[in-house]
Amino acid sequence: MHELKQYIQNYKQINIATTWLLLAAALVLLLPTTALSVSGLEQWVTEYRGYISIVVISSIAYFIALLLVQVGHSVLEKQSETDMMNKITKMVKIMNTSEQAVIREFIFQKKDIISLPLEVASVANLIEHCILVPALNSQEIIGSGSKIKLCINIKARALLDHKALGFPAGKMTEQQAQTLKAARPSFAKEFYVRH
C-alpha cells in the first residue's frame, strides 16, 4: 500500500491535471446549447465534440485504472499478510527444540534484538518462516560467520506462549531450569564466555 501511495504522490500533478481536464470536458459536453451559444462556444464544441468525448472517456479510464490498481494492491497485500500468518502459525506448531531454544534466548538475555548467526539452521529456518525478522539494516561480521541483528516478528509474538517455547507448565523446578539452560544454542554459550 505504501508503494501505491508513493506512486499517487509522485503523479499528483498528473492526477490534478487529469481531474481538471475531466471536469472541464464533462462540463462543456453537459452544458445546454443555449449556454454554449451565449458564450460563443457552440460551434467549437460541435466541431470538436468527438475529441472532447475521448478526453472524458480517457480521464475516466485513467481513474478507473488507478482504482483497480489500488484494489488489486490491497487484495494482494491482504493475501500476503494471510500467507505470512499461516506460515508463522504452522511454524510455531512444529518448532523443534533448537528453534525453541533460539526464541528462548530473547527471554534469557532479556533483549528485543539479538545478533544471531545466519549459518545456523534453526536461525535460518525461523527467518524463512517469518518468526524472526531483521531488526536493523546493519550486519556485523564476527570471525568466519556473519551475524545479523534480529528480533521476533510482532505478528508471531502472540503465538509464542510457554507451550510453544518448550517451557514447562506451572512453576519451573531447578532441574527443568538446568535442562533449559543446557539446551541453549552453542552460539549463545559462546556469547556468555566472551562477555
What is the rounded CA–CA span in Å between residue 172 and residue 54?
76
Q: DSSP label at 116?
A: E
Q: Assign 95 to helix, strand or coil.
A: coil
- Write down the pLDDT at residue 8: 66
Would you put residue 166 in left (φ > 0), alpha (ψ -120 to 50) or beta?
left
Cell of 147: 551475524
| Residue of 81, 104, 116, 84 whose CA lies nearest to 177 | 104
Q: Are 108 and 188 in contact (CB under 8 A)?
A: yes
Q: How many other C-beta atoms are found inside a 10 Å radius of the C-beta of residue 97? A: 11
| pLDDT of amino acid 61 | 93
Output DSSP code: residue 195: -
What pLDDT sits at residue 44?
A: 83
* Alpha helices per DSSP H over the chain: 2-10, 12-30, 33-39, 42-94, 97-108, 121-128, 154-157, 174-182, 186-194
Q: Is 96 helix (H, G, I), strand (E, B) or coil?
A: coil
Backbone torsions φ then ψ of 160, nearest 5 degrees: -90, 75
pLDDT at residue 193, as a whole number: 39
Query: Please, what's the largest Cα pairwise distance for the chain?
Result: 97
pLDDT, residue 192, reads 45
Residue whose cell numbers read 514447562: 168
DSSP-derived 3-state class of residue 93: helix
- List the pLDDT tens digit at each of the 195 positions of the chain: 566 667 667 778 888 888 888 888 888 888 777 777 777 777 888 888 889 899 999 999 999 998 898 899 899 999 999 999 999 999 999 999 889 889 988 888 888 888 888 888 899 899 999 999 888 765 554 555 677 888 999 999 999 888 888 887 778 778 877 787 777 777 766 554 343
pLDDT for residue 54: 93
| Domains of the chain by residue range | 2-79, 95-194
pLDDT at residue 189, as a whole number: 60
pLDDT at 24: 87
Q: CB of 113 within 8 A of CB of 136?
A: yes
